[in-house]
Structure 1
Amino acid sequence: MYRIVFLISSVIILVHCSSKQKIAMLPYYNTPDFTPHFISADAATKEIPHTIAGFSCTDQSGATITQKNIEGKIHVANFFFTACGSICPKMMTNLKTTYEAFKLDTGIVFLSYSVTPWRDSVARLKNYAEHNDISLTNWHLLTGNKADIYKLARTSYFAEEDFGFSKDSSQFLHTEHILLIDQHKKIRGIYNGTLELETQQLAKDIAVLKNEGQ
């Protein structure tokens, strides 16, 4: 299903009446089934109530990261754990390529939430960041309360296909999905982080959001 949504979001364009220039337009997502809504920003204010909820986590430097750190900014979110030997290494490698293109842009924040926060301490996250050459510029590897992170993943980011609100924190969270969130904390894209082509599309869509906010 996500592949279909991805293809739709990557090909839909609007034609500007006066200049006849093709302008990329990203959909809004309001529900866990990721039905795309191609509407204007003004319409989204009224028709897309879903936004990323408040949160408080600690990053690899020991700093507290909250919703204040993403106010008015584009942010990219994913879920991983440092001991993961399956999907996480490929996802984080692909995400790093996207990050490199925007690491000096203070208007973009990358948030990688640990799904094993009881194991991924600040020290462990710091070691992981250093080992993988992840800088502190605007990429935060986050640890915190397990229940809070799992709830945020499932009910705010809709990180697992078809589940939405149906799972609780007792059921392990493991997903390859990367989410793109706009300056108003609304979901604008979802990508399979294990596929290089989709993380390349993520970079293109970040650029679209940057232009949208100008």
Structure 2
Amino acid sequence: MWRTVFSGSSVVAIILLLIACGKETSPKLPYYNTPDFSPIFVESASELAEKIPHTISNFSFRDQNGVTISEKDIEGKIHVADFFFTSCGSICPRMTKHMKLVEKAFPANKNVVLLSYSVTPWIDSVSRLKAYSRANNIQSENWHLLTGSKAAIYQLARQSYFAEEELGFTKDSTEFLHTEHFLLVDKQKRIRGIYNGTLELEMQQLIADIQSLLKEN
């Protein structure tokens, strides 16, 4: 009968190895720098600055309360963006329902902002957005339904958020913008995720990814 004998130091080493292997690691989310959404992973701040120059551009729109919301309101915060219109009877109601799951997951968390841009701003006035928010029981102070210049919204959606991916990147405001995508943007205004806003399962992933970003330095 064979018997294996371990020294005290060997036992300690094995225990430490088992502990290390048992720890769950949370890999950092990739960055997205181009409308083809090729994931890029970086290891350092210098590499980040070199490889990921793209950030969300400056903007200024009014929300459902008539308050002007700009890039200053998302400085140092995580935000989720989507694009909808109040008269949409197809995917938008489902997207709003699913955004409410995100709202519910981070109640009163001022570090998480939700921005829903109207793609028919010539129809969706402040008062119409207010009525929509009431009809959908949108209560969070951090969820802004935005209206303003059509050209500015469309350019921001396509050039900054890559909302329609490569398909929409070269389009202008004469072509209607309609997308089911939710975009996750980190505290430095860099895109970190894209999700199908019509699928509840994707919202669970979005919520998990927001939690990961909240832990990032």
Q: 1:191 aligns with which of 177, 188, 195?
A: 195
Q: What TM-score does the superposition give when structure 1 sets the normalisation length?
A: 0.89
Q: Do the aligned residues in 1 keep the contact of 2:183 with 2:191 (CA within 8 Å)?
A: yes
Q: 2:26 aligns with which of 23, 27, 30?
A: 23
Tell me if 1:130 matches 2:127: no
- The DSSP-based 3-state class of the residue aligned with 2:205 is helix
Q: Do the aligned residues in 1 keep the contact of 2:103 with 2:140 (CA within 8 Å)?
A: no
Following superposition, the deviation at residue 22 of structure 1 comes to 1.5
* C-alpha distance 46-181 of structure 1, shift in aligned 2 (>3 A): same
Inter-partner Cα distance in structure 1 for 2:93 and 2:168 = 25
- The DSSP-based 3-state class of the residue aligned with 1:208 is helix
Q: Do the aligned residues in 1 keep the contact of 2:60 with 2:71 (CA within 8 Å)?
A: yes
Higher alpha-carbon deviation: 184-193 or 132-141:
132-141
Q: RMSD between aligned alpha carbons? A: 1.5
Following superposition, the deviation at residue 103 of structure 1 comes to 2.6
Give the unaligned 5+ runs of structure 2: 1-19
Q: Deviations over 1:118-165 (max 9, x none)?
A: 000000000000010101410000000000000000000000032253
Q: 1:32 aligns with which of 25, 30, 35?
A: 35
Higher alpha-carbon deviation: 60-69 or 101-110:
101-110
1:207 alignment counterpart: 211
Higher alpha-carbon deviation: 204-213 or 155-164:
155-164
Tell me if 1:80 matches 2:109: no
Q: 2:147 aligns with which of 134, 143, 160?
A: 143
Residues 163-202 of structure 1 correspond to what in structure 2 (within 5 A)?
Answer: 163-202=167-206
* C-alpha distance 41-122 of structure 1, shift in aligned 2 (>3 A): farther
Tell me if 1:155 matches 2:153: no
Q: Do the aligned residues in 2 keep the contact of 1:110 with 1:138 (CA within 8 Å)?
A: yes
Inter-partner Cα distance in structure 1 for 2:111 and 2:99 = 17
1:100 alignment counterpart: 104
Q: Percent identity?
A: 60
Q: What amino acid maps onto 2:182 in structure 1?
A: I
Inter-partner Cα distance in structure 1 for 2:95 and 2:168 = 21
Q: What amino acid maps onto 2:171 in structure 1?
A: K
Following superposition, the deviation at residue 33 of structure 1 comes to 0.1
Q: What amino acid maps onto 1:75 in structure 2?
A: H
Q: Deviations over 1:22-75 (max 9, x none)?
A: 123200000000000011351212210000000000000000000000000000
- The DSSP-based 3-state class of the residue aligned with 2:116 is strand
Following superposition, the deviation at residue 109 of structure 1 comes to 0.4
User: Runs of 4 or more off by more than 4 Å in structure 1?
Assistant: 17-20
1:3 alignment counterpart: none
Q: What amino acid maps onto 1:147 in structure 2?
A: A
Q: Do the aligned residues in 2 keep the contact of 1:180 with 1:187 (CA within 8 Å)?
A: yes
* C-alpha distance 41-154 of structure 1, shift in aligned 2 (>3 A): farther
2:13 alignment counterpart: none
Inter-partner Cα distance in structure 2 for 1:151 and 1:202 = 24
Higher gyration radius (CA): 2
- The DSSP-based 3-state class of the residue aligned with 1:23 is coil
Q: What TM-score does the superposition give when structure 2 sets the normalisation length?
A: 0.87
Aligned length: 197
Q: Do the aligned residues in 2 keep the contact of 1:154 with 1:163 (CA within 8 Å)?
A: no
Following superposition, the deviation at residue 167 of structure 1 comes to 0.2
Q: Deviations over 1:153-210 (max 9, x none)?
A: 0000000032253100000000000000000000000000000000110000000000
Inter-partner Cα distance in structure 2 for 1:101 and 1:203 = 7
